[in-house]
Amino acid sequence: MNDLMQAERAVLDGAASLPEYICAASESAVGAFAALETEYWKSVRDAHKNGKKLVAYSGPVPNELLFAADCVPLNLDMLPAVIATGKTLTAELLRDVETHVSQNLCGCNKLILGALRHGSIEIDALVRAPISCQSVSSALNLLQGELTVPVYTFHTPTKRSERNIEYMVNEVRELADFLGELTGAKPQLETLRRLMNSNNRAKLLLDDCAKLRAGEPCPMSSHMTELGRLYAALGATGALETPLEAEIEYCRCRAEKGDSPCKNGEKHRAYVLQSPLWCLGELTRWLEEKYDIVTVCDGLGYEYGGLYESAESMEECFAELSKSLFTTPALHGGAQNGMSVLERAVITVERYKPDVLFFLGDRWCRQSWGLSKMLSDTLQERCGRAPFFTDVDGIDPAYKDLDQIKAQLSEYIEAVVLGK
């Protein structure tokens, strides 16, 4: 039994907490962003030990306010990917939710709910901002029913307009007061401005990564979904800047030499449209090694919201932060307005020029599947190619394991892409 399996066993036996397992899992992960993620999870695990409030949040909450109020913000979307590394633990948490709460949620939400029901992540407050997904709102309503901590809920209108942005400024101000009462430390202008500037810098670096990946040959496989998750949680802290700069530097050197992550050079370019998927990293590596196919873009395309503009006064900061309430988190891209997802998919195909398209839809994500026919028709009509569709479970390998997913992709690649 390796260390991670022992850590998982300890949680299942009640000898360790979920945050302890999460820290062990992120510590054992590899990749440029693993150390950063470990630091984040340690701050969550040790929040109370360090005298801080742990504030969970869901949806496009402007987390700059949470950091500025000296809380440790727990982005609930960060939980599923790291917990899913423990197969038995994941199965146990899912079983608890399916038996005692609801079966009608997507896997991500079931796992988030299961993690908080486990009782070893002790949050001090919950802040929620809506996204257009029934699964998220049901999960949060169920969670809220079980919580005894204070909850702040944004009531963001569906449509983004100048008037609605202005309307939401009041609620941003209310959140600042709510956090001030919770922690005794109201967000201050200087801190808020610094956090918003860091968020802008991370966004610009992500833009540079996306541009580099559109080059031919593509210097590095995409992991937009993964970066979207980290950006939503940590963009404001400045912690993403060094690893992103290193990634850009690496991509630039490779691009100058015309190198590709595929050992025989890039033969094909894939666009992998999907919800979060537990084995995406392994799949992209396998595509490179076995077929010399580089993944140029993943998720539902590249778009992580806009830049903050003016932050001279507290009121200006609130007005800018209110804009972010209208941006759907990258991980739940399917919950966006259908027309903009279709448009983004077309732009992605035009910009990155993939010749292989996979749609690996989460079996529970009604948003993605609702879009699938329109997506297929639009891409066929406007770009002359349609995706290969298959269903997966975003977090649970018990539904389809890596070998089963590979077998399905192989059949398609060999028959259609390679024409064997």
Where along the sequence are the contacts to ligand SF4 (CB under 6 A)? 106, 108-109, 133, 135-136, 275, 332, 334-335, 362, 365-368
Nearest approach, Cβ of 393 to ligand SF4 (angstroms)?
A: 11
Q: Is the Cβ of residue 225 or residue 368 nearer to ligand SF4 in the bound state?
A: 368
Nearest approach, Cβ of 387 to ligand SF4 (angstroms)?
A: 17
Residues 6+ apart with CB under 8 A from 28: 3, 4
Question: Closest Cα partner for 358 from 374, 344, 372, 347?
Answer: 372
Residues 6+ apart with CB under 8 A from 247: 32, 209, 220
Q: Is the Cβ of residue 193 or residue 223 nearer to ligand SF4 in the bound state?
A: 223
Q: Is the Cβ of residue 53 or residue 229 nearer to ligand SF4 in the bound state?
A: 229
Q: Is the Cβ of residue 104 or residue 191 nearer to ligand SF4 in the bound state?
A: 104
Q: Is the Cβ of residue 108 or residue 218 nearer to ligand SF4 in the bound state?
A: 108
Nearest approach, Cβ of 334 to ligand SF4 (angstroms)?
A: 5
Nearest approach, Cβ of 132 to ligand SF4 (angstroms)?
A: 8
Separation of alpha carbons 165 and 157, rounded Å: 9
What does DSSP assign to residue 329?
A: -
Q: Three-class SS of residue 1? A: coil
Helix then strand then coil, % of the chain, to nearest 5: 55, 10, 35
Nearest approach, Cβ of 97 to ligand SF4 (angstroms)?
A: 13
Nearest approach, Cβ of 372 to ligand SF4 (angstroms)?
A: 12
Q: Is the Cβ of residue 135 or residue 408 nearer to ligand SF4 in the bound state?
A: 135
CA angle 395, 397, 400 (to 5 degrees): 115
Separation of alpha carbons 420 and 418, rounded Å: 6
Separation of alpha carbons 419 and 148, rounded Å: 59
